[in-house]
Amino acid sequence: MNKRFVKIGEAAELLGVSIETMRRWEKSGELVPDRKTRGGTRYYEIGKLLNAENNDYPTICYARVSSHDQKQDLDRQQELLEAYCAAKGWRTQTIRDLGSGMNYRNKGLQKLLEMILQKKMKRLVLTTKDRLLRFGSELIFSLCELQGIEIVIIHKGEQPSFEEELATDVLEIITIFSARLYGSRSKKNRKLMESLQQEADKIYERLEKSKKI
């Protein structure tokens, strides 16, 4: 039977990863092309790719922050996750989200859920539990357990206090309401958002004072 080969773009699409990930796997020796022309064109045998897909699913690193001004923290999360997995020798793929932990429609989260339901991953790695969702993460963990997907949380230390969680939740609610009310010019909406922001600021001020005592 003749073997069928595909180029790197088709191979990446077949495995559900990016071309950059394919090249990284080649450098690490995890998945090398079966043929490579002098011009650098890579060819992969479909049979081997399907076998790799079925038996060697990647470890998924999930990183999330709530707002654009936290992008540096998002980058740090990704670096920590990938360094941790590299030390374990795990083949990884990183999913990033920039959005509220109370938003179940974040694109990255939707992609993660799809991979869990299709059992396209070996394990899920998070820096902390709340990076996944503010509420409902236990349900996703249960889905992973049913699918035989391992859960790894790097930092399981001291959890935030009730007041800290409340302050974070209030700010995330404000973010959601702001997005939904954006474009509305009514004074009533503006006053509502200003009031919510003031209450959130008060909570943070009390938290900062309590930490200094």
Return the active site residues: 66
Residue 112 φ/ψ region, left for φ over 0, alpha for ψ in the -120 to 50 degree band, beta for the rest: alpha
User: In this structure, are residues 111 and 124 in contact, taking their beta carbons and an 8 Å threshold?
Assistant: no
C-alpha separations of 125 from 80, 86, 142, 189 in Å: 11, 12, 15, 40
30-36 long-range CB contacts below 8 Å, 24 or more apart?
A: 30/91, 31/91, 33/8, 34/5, 35/5
Task: Name residues whose C-beta falls within 8 Å of residue 177's C-beta, 6 or more positions apart in sequence.
Answer: 192, 193, 196
Up-side HSE of residue 27: CA atoms within 13 Å toward CB? Answer: 6
CB neighbours (10 Å) of residue 208? 9
